[in-house]
């Protein structure tokens, strides 16, 4: 292939990951075509040959999503050099199929990882639950987290992810940020004064999975949390545009204009109340507490009447009803003063 032409085309593409995929696609195409791809520039047969390339990929046993990604490279290259590609839509070249190779991650499994994680690993899990791509997560900088609202320019799609820091994450960050080397700009710092690589983040995730005793059905990788975030949005009734903007997926410009930061923050709060590393303790409401008070009053009367009948009232150590009552309440619901005397 003519690398000068390839580099000219790739210079218009911002994402290094997309560039890498495109080069792989062009090489695969030339393996099939046995000629440099630039020989098709201006050809009337370009569309027909691309169709045959797609069919050949299918015959080689490549899955649909792989075929779609590989065939997109020659199509985009030829379009850039003024060669429109006409193909039959019935072939389904751009059809995406749902895959079952990934483990269906649950928030309970992430919480079990958090229970065996150290402070840095817990912060990694908090970012994991934001639904960002691993390449973007690895290069986050700690200064971005000084505010609760984050705008993250994503590499693959070159769009902005509008996300936020939850109260739970902020509490962890207050401890974690003070431990960082401030001469290193990255949130997840490596020993070589850089950032953790995507491979290192995935390895940390695998170790947490093992330590938590999770047995995944399929691949448990970073991308599973992205699916968990989007699935949770759907379950909560959050519209797909807001969900996409929070994880950094492209939406049309007119839609992005009409979705405000306030709406996104409210939607994020709904999701973060579900996707928590540490679930909230159940709250005892006023009616339930009143019933508990009544039960304890009755129980005390029954016990003391029985002791009086047996003449043991003065000989027996008084029961600490206050302590028993408070043990049955969640920490945040313990009353300042509850007296049973």
Tokens of 306: 């029985």
pLDDT of the residue at 167: 93
The model's pLDDT over 284-307, given as tens digits with 9 standing for 90+, comes to 566 666 776 677 677 767 777 776
Task: With beta carbons less than 8 A apart as the criterion, state whether 277 and 125 touch.
Answer: yes
Least confident of 30-44, 99-113, 141-155, 280-294: 280-294
pLDDT of the residue at 208: 96
Domain 107-274 has CATH 3.40.50.620: no
Pick the CATH number of 3-91 from 1.10.260, 2.60.40, 1.20.1560, 1.10.150: 1.10.150
Task: With beta carbons less than 8 A apart as the criterion, state whether 129 and 165 touch.
Answer: no
Q: Give this prediction's pTM.
A: 0.65
Tokens of 164: 């936020």
pLDDT of the residue at 105: 93
| Reported confidence tier of residue 325, pLDDT bands at 50, 70, 90 | low
E-state strands within 125-269: 149-153, 160-164
Domain ranges of the chain: 3-91, 107-274, 286-333
Task: With beta carbons less than 8 A apart as the criterion, state whether 113 and 122 touch.
Answer: no
Cα dihedral 100, 102, 103, 106, rounded to 10, equals: -100
Per DSSP, the three-state class of 296 is helix
pLDDT of the residue at 275: 94
Q: What is the mean pLDDT of residues 142-170?
A: 88
């Amino acid at each position: 292939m003519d690398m000068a032409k390839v580099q000219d085309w790739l210079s218009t593409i911002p994402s290094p990951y997309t560039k890498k995929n495109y080069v792989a696609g062009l090489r695969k195409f030339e393996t099939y075509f046995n000629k440099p791809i630039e020989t098709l520039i201006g050809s009337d047969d370009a569309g027909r040959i691309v169709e045959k390339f797609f069919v050949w990929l299918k015959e080689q046993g490549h899955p649909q999503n792989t075929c779609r990604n590989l065939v997109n490279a020659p199509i985009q290259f030829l379009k850039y050099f003024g060669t429109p590609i006409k193909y039959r839509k019935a072939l389904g070249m751009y059809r995406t199929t749902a895959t079952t190779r990934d483990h269906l991650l649950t928030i309970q499994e992430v919480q079990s990882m958090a229970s065996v994680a150290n402070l840095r690993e817990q912060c990694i899990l908090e970012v994991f639950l934001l639904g960002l791509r691993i390449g973007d997560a690895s290069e986050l900088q700690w200064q971005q987290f000084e505010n609760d609202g984050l705008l993250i320019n994503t590499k693959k799609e070159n769009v902005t992810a509008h996300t936020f820091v939850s109260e739970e994450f902020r509490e962890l960050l207050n401890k974690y940020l003070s431990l960082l080397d401030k001469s290193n700009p990255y949130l997840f710092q490596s020993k070589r004064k850089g950032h953790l690589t995507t491979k290192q983040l995935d390895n940390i995730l695998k170790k947490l999975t093992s330590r938590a005793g999770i047995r995944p059905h399929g691949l448990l990788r970073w991308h599973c949390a992205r699916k968990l975030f989007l699935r949770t949005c759907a379950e909560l009734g959050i519209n797909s545009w807001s969900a996409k903007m929070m994880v950094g997926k492209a939406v049309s410009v007119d839609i992005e204009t009409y979705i405000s930061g306030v709406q996104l923050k409210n939607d994020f709060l709904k999701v973060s109340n579900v996707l928590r590393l540490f679930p909230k303790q159940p709250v005892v409401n006023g009616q339930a507490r009143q019933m508990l008070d009544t039960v304890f009053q009755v129980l005390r009367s029954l016990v003391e009447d029985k002791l009086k009948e047996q003449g043991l009232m003065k000989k027996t150590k008084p029961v600490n009803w206050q302590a028993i009552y408070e043990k049955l309440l969640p920490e945040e619901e313990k009353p300042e003063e509850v007296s049973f005397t």
